[in-house]
Amino acid sequence: MALGNVALSLAMTTFLATSASLATSAAGLSNGELARRGGAREQVVRRMLDPGQQTSLKKIPSAYAALAKRRR
């Protein structure tokens, strides 16, 4: 992978993680609730939403899908 592609991937991951974190806060959800909705452990959600952590772009859509789910 070219250096420019790596930089773009990291920038996109940081942007998506930050926006998911802001959306979670705006929705009044805790990391625990987001984890429950997404079927993940809270630790995984915390790492995924932390812009300082490197997260696979493949994992980010699951956070957005969990945000869209209604509380049961």
**Tokens, residue 4:** 């420019």
Check whether 3 has a pLDDT greater than 60. Answer: no
User: 33-55, pLDDT tens digit by residue?
Assistant: 888 888 888 998 888 888 777 77
Check whether 1 has a pLDDT greater than 60. Answer: no
Sorted by where each starts, the structural domains of the chain and their CATH numbers stand as 3-68 (1.10.260)
Residue 66 confidence (pLDDT): 81
Residue 38 to residue 31: CA distance in whole angstroms: 10
Residue 14 to residue 6: CA distance in whole angstroms: 12
Residues near 68 by Cβ (< 8 Å), separated by ≥ 6? none
